[in-house]
Structure 1
């Protein structure tokens, strides 16, 4: 609803809208309803709940419908209002309200003689007729009839009103100074109640310090008690802040301005007061406003949100930064805001140092001087040929060409080594923050290999390049080389060899004619897989574990026992190589010992934990579409139940059968035939070539490999397996236990070992082993950490 108010006077017509309410009525120039004369503001026109009402000013004399107006009255169409000599006529027509202002001028009656002249025939001297007043006799009591009738009608009206009137209680809290009940028929006040006929009435109440109350009520039988509460006028609150002004003040979350603030109107009652200013702690408290137009003053004391921090560095003169802001140069004292502050100290020629401080507002803080270290040098390594590994401070940095950062201002020893070349030792002292270059030319190391082939006319390829006739003397660098022999009508054959400087190797390769069946080991059949893992099928069989009590070198944990391998299984013929493992974990490095690398692609992977070996098995299972044998439980890999056909680590019984019994008539004691020590080169053990690395070696034995050898370098055992003795020890699936009790004599079936433990079984011997005890095939080791002589091979059930 949007009303239009038209004020019509004798001089002009003016139009207003509801947005202009309330409208002042008076003689003042700012009054929208302008009177010709009178007080500056005599009354106000206003609206409440869609109804218009007129309210007289305290000192104004206003008559509404001929009754003097005190307070306010609802306006109806046809009402008149007299203010001085002005009369306002009200007309309410839908959304249009017309206020017509008329001026009432008091005057004298006009007197005029008759227009007809007296008759000429009348003598002027003739006197006017004398009219005598006749006296009528009076009737006794007639003059009392009209008043009596009026009095009687009043009595009847009062009686009728009393019969239909309702006694209405209007309860206004707190008690108002003025209380009116307007309506028709008019309400009669009796004490604290009103007598009203049924219908609509308007309650008006006023009290100093409170909002005026104007409320429409409907009086009906049984609806005669009405309660209202006056609302206090807002309080006028002034705010100041110290030690500084300009603090933003928020009342119940709404900003009312910044200090100082004068007489801000706030509703009476409790409020949440907040104040905030940059670099000061937020302030929060309860604000109680008295209201009723009363004035209050609130003083806000702000607390500093910073602490004084004294900073120093060694050496001094370091620039201190916080994010992108420069705080100054040490030594300095700064104001830091409360909280976790991250500072960076920077000085030319030194590495930046980050300092985190827990700053408490209003305190002083002096942390220890920050120690600055010389900035590292940026060093570019290159070698001819490239690909040399760079080791500094015992850490493998990478392969040339390489750019890395190294500590400065100290003397350093740097090793560069490449398989087939002599290692290079560089001692340098780099300047702080300098750009340095280190370039070396590697000198090759050669070994001699005498190769004999059958047929003799075969052609030799070395590392994929044609060399010429296969049979003859080869001078090769001391790194891994792949020799491939080809002849028409024969199946190609490749071998990986690792020549050693000063060592002459003899190698015989017999090619198999096309169509000729491959040799099959008596222990089982070779089964290549999609992933290229050569597997040999074994079982059902019985594995005889342990060693007799009187066997030389026997240990207490080698209790003899039998395990029935009822479920046929597959066991890898070869160890997992670095190259194979890096397909699963590209960043793995097996490391080096001395200046000898363990990291060749065809060398067995070492420095790998049991957990990562199990994860490799799951990866291999996924590649071949097999179920995963292990599942992750926390940080530990455990076998799933029931056991499936996925790749896994061999059980101790499976490994023992493949090493000692497969393809043999009886259990073997050593990886070679006969007694200790070995008479011929049959595997990679602790030999003369490793004398500079190991405390004990096999005297007079030289297999040509000081550390790990390429997988499959030495002859396979009768079961078809390579490196079951020597090269690296191997993880087994089982948790380790001693098996020393008599109860362990009972034969077990497909034994997976104990349900839990702290170490896993490690079987076999390695390039570090050189004693009778450790080189025996029944020797049982255990570990829970990765080592440089522990690798693994894979196994799985056939079905």
Structure 2
């Protein structure tokens, strides 16, 4: 009894436990289902086109998701999936919270694969699809999207062939296109006719010849005894069905080797330049000519048989010609740099371009080029001119020797030098003198520089500052030195280092006269005489000239207030703008010695002086112009004159000479 009750009690406990377990399982399933419904989102996928839907397949690439048929369930925010079907390209997409619940996926069909060959096989076929060239090859291998196509094959040796292709999805298309050879006639002729013709190595007959052939390229050889062999390639194509050739056969040639002295000449055959060895037409006369400048040319005529060889020699003799050289002055002659003697001179020279130089001290050398000839005497006539006259004839600015002294020609006219009585700044020594000029004269554009003056002393170097601190006689000695250097008659008579007189008719260099200096400073290229070099205005513009400006304030009593020229002392010549006639520094930089002796005795007021050289006596000489030390405007007037007998640090000079 006790055992039965025990068994019953155990059964009750098991049933109670099972009920509890089942209850817990149901609750768990309910919770899981609730969680599934809460965290899972479902999507319905539709595959297009219908043909793709029949074999559709889905796969999850990443994310927590699963497919049940075409339903996608995603746990979480997103999933990456792939949709595929037979004969279609697979599509990949990402599904997320923003995706619609119904998703359409359109798959693209796979292309058809096309492989077309030809019969017979041909290289370099031009393939086109629907009229568009796609390849140049022996066969066409390509892919086509589903559709209808016309495939065309073109080859020069075949008729154009086409085929219609229906390309299905993912189809494998194999096709052989039959090519029909082009046919035509090849016309071959020659001059002269009767030549043997071979085509692709096989005898075909003699010219003129007509050959019926299929399309293609043919190697043609044309041969005739006594003539050079001709080889050619002829193409018979759909666009050229009847090619024609007419070959002008060239005779077999002979060979000539030419030896010639002197070397370096020109070899011509029948007038055409050639080089040795030379090939010439056989059985035809050929004229050989060898020539070289300076030598007498030689000619030969040869007529050789086919394949014959010969050596031809030339030895040219020098061509000599007579040249006579004459000059307006007896002068030395150089030919190609070698002294030959003095003019007049007759020389026998080789017929080559020859440089002849005629030179004489004090004159510009003349150089001419002449080519002598044995046919006649060449005459070389030379007019020798002094450098000054040569440059004047050329209309160029005059530069003296190698010193770089520019000379300006002045054509003067009568005027009254000095200052009028009504000039409030007039000094008592500014006498009015009526002067005239019988001939033009030349004056240097710049004051003589230190470097130019040093050359007269045999010294090298020196600056472009005006030379100052020289006496009047030192300036005169410089002028004579320059005259002698140029071969001109010196103007000054110098004895024992002192000026003892002048030669008024001499064309040598000298100091300008006071009348000449004042003419170029006041009237040259002006309508009327001016008070200052720059004109009549009583004010200075900056950099008008080199005067005592603000830079000397505190070091000298008088200076031009408010004026600045950029230099506290001497300035290089040409630092300031030239006046109207092209002369520099007439009104500043350095005062200038002129030729005239200084006197305060007035000249005859009733007389007009021609080529006035100033007073006959006096212990000092006239100085004209202003300098970097001049600090008062009235002392810059062009009529101002001073007498000096000793050098000064602000006195320089410029040079002049008569024109004729």
Higher helix share: 2
User: Does the TM-score normalized on the shorter chain lie above 0.5?
Assistant: no
The TM-score with structure 2 as length reference comes to 0.39
**Larger RCO, structures 1/2 (Cα 8 Å, 6+ apart):** 2
The TM-score with structure 1 as length reference comes to 0.32
